[in-house]
Chain A
């Protein structure tokens, strides 16, 4: 069984400030981990994914995430927020050999000018 917890359903940051979106997972097998972004009334777009090749993963739009096994975390960061980053972000986990992607409940990011 696997699950994902995203801390904070809504996060607000000022433009130019650090973005930190938190994700903790539980998985009985070595996991693959994903971050997706969703803009209003649109589908999900893949930001980045962890597949055990490297613990620090770089994605699109300047985002990155670090896999920390000891903390069962996969937090998403971006050094400087841009207005276009305002969206909802979903962390997801899939166990190796599984077809079922399990999503967190999402974190809505607001960027204040």
Chain B
């Protein structure tokens, strides 16, 4: 079955530590996205990538970094500069340029600070 996988489901970060969230898709989509979800805030865009080796900042990129070395993978690193990282992180992908543009979401990773 095609889809998006995110791992781990839960992640714990210690003070001053960088952590990396994994996102993999086998939908052959060109574009991938990372969102942060906080209660009552909806989803906010962190980074997005339209093609391999290219990515752009979203609305809340500070304290985060990404890479896009392969079409299937778009890992997100939460750096120590992100002072309030506790949130639910969602990865999505889409096929830009097609008539019915739709973003498909993974199951999410919940990040907690120890």
Contacts of A100 in B (CB 8 A): 45, 48, 58
Q: Are B108 and A42 in contact (CB under 8 A)?
A: yes
Q: Is the interface of B mostly helix, strand, loop or mixed?
A: strand
Query: In chain B, what residue has the closest Cβ to A46?
Result: B102
Q: B85 an interface residue at 8 Å Cβ cutoff?
A: no
Query: Closest CB of chain B to A98's CB: distance in Å?
Result: 9
Q: Are A106 and B40 in contact (CB under 8 A)?
A: yes
Contact with A along B69-112 (1 / 0, CB 8 A): 00000000000000000001010100010011111111110100
Query: Contacts A41-B110, A44-B90, A51-B99: A104 and B42 contacting too (C-beta < 8 A)?
Result: yes
* CB within 8 Å: A-B pair count: 50
Give Cα distance in the complex from A94 to B101, angstroms: 9
Q: Are A43 and B90 in contact (CB under 8 A)?
A: yes
Q: A63 an interface residue at 8 Å Cβ cutoff?
A: no
In A2-50, the 8 Å CB interface with B consists of: 9, 32, 34, 36, 41-46, 49
Contacts of A45 in B (CB 8 A): 105
Contacts of B105 in A (CB 8 A): 36, 43-45
Q: Are B41 and A105 in contact (CB under 8 A)?
A: yes
- Residue ranges of A at the interface with B (Cβ–Cβ < 8 Å): 9, 32, 34, 36, 41-46, 49, 51, 90, 94, 99-101, 103-106
Query: In chain A, what residue has the closest Cβ to B107?
Result: A43
Query: In chain A, what residue has the closest Cβ to B88?
Result: A41
Give Cα distance in the complex from A54 to B28, angstroms: 28
Indicate the member of B41, B99, B103 with the most A CB atoms within 10 Å.
B103
Q: B43 an interface residue at 8 Å Cβ cutoff?
A: yes
Query: Closest CB of chain A to B55's CB: distance in Å?
Result: 11
Query: In chain A, what residue has the closest Cβ to B33?
Result: A101
Interchain residue pairs A-B with the least CB separation, the first 6: A43-B105, A105-B42, A103-B42, A44-B105, A103-B43, A43-B107
